[in-house]
Amino acid sequence: MAELDSARVDAWLWAVRVCKTRSAATSACRAGHVRVNGERAKAAQPVRPGDEVRVRLHGFDRILIVRRPIVKRVSAELAAAAADDRTPAPPPREAVASVPLRDRGAGRPTKRERRDLDRLRGR
C-alpha cells in the first residue's frame, strides 16, 4: 500500500470508521460538524499526519488526531492505527443531573406538579 501525504477529510472519516458511509461524512462536513485544526472543514479539505479533527456526532464531539491518511476501508487494526482518539471520557452518571420524565401522553404538568418540579430544580 502506497503511503499518502494527505487525504480528503470525508474519505478519511469514512476509512477510520467514524461515519458509516462516505456520503454521511460528506453531509457532516456540509452541515459544519467537522473541524480540522479548529476551522470548519469542507469535504475535500486535505488532512495530514498531526492534524486534529473534531467531529460532532449524536450530540458529542469526538477528537481525533490523524496518524496516517488513508482513503480506502481497511481492517479494523489498520483503521485504529490511522487515528489517535483523544475524546475525553463522558462524566459519570452520578455527576449528570437526572431529569424527571413524565409518562408519554400524560399531557402538561398541573400547577402543583410544576411547583414540585421547580422546587426540585432549585428555582
Confidence of residue 100 (pLDDT cuts 50, 70, 90): low
Q: What is the pLDDT of residue 4?
A: 83
Q: What is the pLDDT of residue 90?
A: 83
**What residue ranges define each of the domains in the chain, with the CATH number in brackets?**
1-89 (3.10.290.10)
| Residue 85 in this model has a pLDDT that exceeds 90 | yes
User: What's this model's pTM, rounded to 2 decimal places?
Assistant: 0.74
Parallel, antiparallel, or unpaired for β 52-57 and 34-36?
antiparallel
Confidence of residue 1 (pLDDT cuts 50, 70, 90): low
Q: Give me the sheet containing 34-36, strands edge to edge.
A: 39-40, 34-36, 52-57, 60-66, 83-85
d(CA 14, CA 82): 12
Q: What is the pLDDT of residue 8?
A: 96
Q: What is the mean pLDDT of residues 38-64?
A: 95
Confidence of residue 61 (pLDDT cuts 50, 70, 90): very high
Residue 20 has a CB neighbour count (10 Å cut-off) of: 9
Parallel, antiparallel, or unpaired for β 60-66 and 52-57?
antiparallel
Q: What is the pLDDT of residue 27?
A: 96
C-alpha closest to that of 15 among 73, 100, 91, 83: 73
- C-alpha 110: how far from its chain's center? 38
Q: What is the pLDDT of residue 122?
A: 83
